[in-house]
Each structure stands twice: as C-alpha cells, then as structure tokens.
C-alpha cells in the first residue's frame, strides 16, 4: 500500500512539474514574440522615415545619387524579408540598410545648407532615435531568445520540450561586417 502511494506521489509530482514547465515555456515563447513585435514596430518606423528623408535630401545631394539608390534598394529588400517572415534575410538587409544610413548621416554633414535645413535635421534626429530604439529592441529580443533557447535545451527540459514541439528561435544578429567595424574619422 505504501508503495502505491509513493508511485502516485511521484506521478503527481511529475505531472505538476510538466504543467509548470509547459506554462513557463508558453510565457517565455510569448515574451520572445513580444520582443520580435517591438523590433517589427521600430523597423516599420525606420522604413517609413526613409522615403521622407530621401525626398528631403535629394535636391541637395546630386553627387550622392548612388548612395540614395542603395538606401532605397536595401529598404525594399528589408521590407520584402519582413513581409516574408525571413528573420535571417531581414537581419542581413537591415544590417546593410543601417550601414547605408550611417553613410547618409556622414554625407549630410558635408552639406552645410542641408545640415541647416530644419526638416532634414528633424528627420535625422528621428532616424537617430529610431536606430537607438531598434538596438534596444534587438537586445531585448535576443535576451528573450537566449533565455528561451537555454530553457528548452537544458536537461531534462529538452526531453519534454521536444515532445511538446517547442523549437529554438534565431537571434537577430548584424550580418553586415561593416557595421561591426569602428567608424574611421580623419581630420
């Protein structure tokens, strides 16, 4: 009789542990999705700012036509990857777009009339603010992905997480090596 109670006690404890594990995995998966949603919102804001900024600087920057075309091209690639749900392609396109926007900010500095234009200055400030928000959202998302992936890969969670069909998420990483390099400033 005592053996039966011990077996039932172990089964109840195992069932409770599975319930707690499942609920924590659901909570963590929702946090990862929330983190991705934050990135998505900031990327949309960036994509909406770019046409306004390009239109504002176009008249001043006739010599920078190639840069403006590349920004438009990378924005289109990023939008396509975002619509397709391609995390890796989106990270790569956003890395390239970020590099081009950095070059645009440097190019704007070379045009005093453009730099003094209040509309361009306001758009550049908004873009800079958006870039900071994208970085913060990316850090939050990657932290949530790290925690979730660690939880489902740890023993014995990995056994049950696999049975419950929980899969790893990919990090949102910079693909463009030029974004990893220091900016070269010369006087």
Q: pLDDT tens-digit profile of 50-73?
A: 888 888 787 777 667 788 888 989
Cα–Cα distance, 39 to 37 (Å, whole number): 5
DSSP 31-45: HHHHHHHHHHHHHHH
User: Which tokens in the block code for residue 90?
Assistant: 């989106």
* Residue 54 belongs to some domain of the structure: yes
What is the maximum span of the chain, computed from C-alpha positions, in angstroms? 90
Cα–Cα distance, 157 to 153 (Å, whole number): 7
Whose CA is closest to 159, among 9, 14, 33?
14
Tens-digit pLDDT string for the chain (187 aa): 888 899 999 999 999 999 999 999 999 999 999 999 999 999 999 999 888 888 878 777 766 778 888 898 999 999 998 888 888 888 888 888 888 888 888 888 877 777 677 878 888 888 889 989 999 999 999 999 999 999 999 998 999 898 889 999 999 886 554 444 554 444 3
* Residue 23 belongs to some domain of the structure: no
User: Which tokens in the block code for residue 74?
Assistant: 């990378």
Cα–Cα distance, 117 to 115 (Å, whole number): 6
Tell me the pTM.
0.76
Cα–Cα distance, 108 to 114 (Å, whole number): 7
* Residue 127 belongs to some domain of the structure: yes
* Residue 6 belongs to some domain of the structure: no
Whose CA is closest to 148, among 5, 57, 32, 13?
32
Which CATH number belongs to the domain containing residue 95 in this structure?
1.20.1440.20
User: Which tokens in the block code for residue 67?
Assistant: 């840069």
Residue 160's domain comprises 42-168
* Residue 15 belongs to some domain of the structure: no
* Residue 140 belongs to some domain of the structure: yes
* Residue 111 belongs to some domain of the structure: yes
Number of domains forming the structure of the chain: 1
């Amino acid at each position: 009789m005592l053996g039966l109670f011990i077996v039932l006690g172990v089964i109840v404890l195992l069932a409770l542990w599975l319930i707690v594990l499942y609920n924590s995995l659901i909570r963590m998966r929702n946090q990862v999705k929330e983190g991705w949603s934050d990135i998505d919102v900031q990327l949309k804001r960036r994509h909406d700012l770019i046409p306004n900024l390009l239109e504002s600087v176009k008249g001043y920057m006739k010599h920078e036509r190639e840069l403006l075309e590349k920004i438009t091209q990378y924005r289109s690639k990023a939008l396509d990857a975002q619509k397709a749900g391609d995390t890796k392609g989106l990270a790569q396109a956003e890395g390239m777009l970020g590099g081009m926007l950095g070059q645009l900010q440097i190019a704007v500095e070379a045009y005093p009339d453009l730099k003094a234009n209040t509309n361009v200055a306001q758009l550049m400030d908004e873009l800079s603010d958006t870039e900071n928000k994208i970085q913060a959202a990316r850090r939050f998302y990657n932290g949530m992905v790290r925690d979730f992936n660690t939880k489902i890969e740890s023993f014995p969670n990995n056994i049950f997480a696999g049975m419950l069909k929980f899969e790893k998420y990919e990090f949102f990483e910079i693909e463009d090596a030029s974004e990893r390099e220091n900016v070269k400033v010369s006087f």
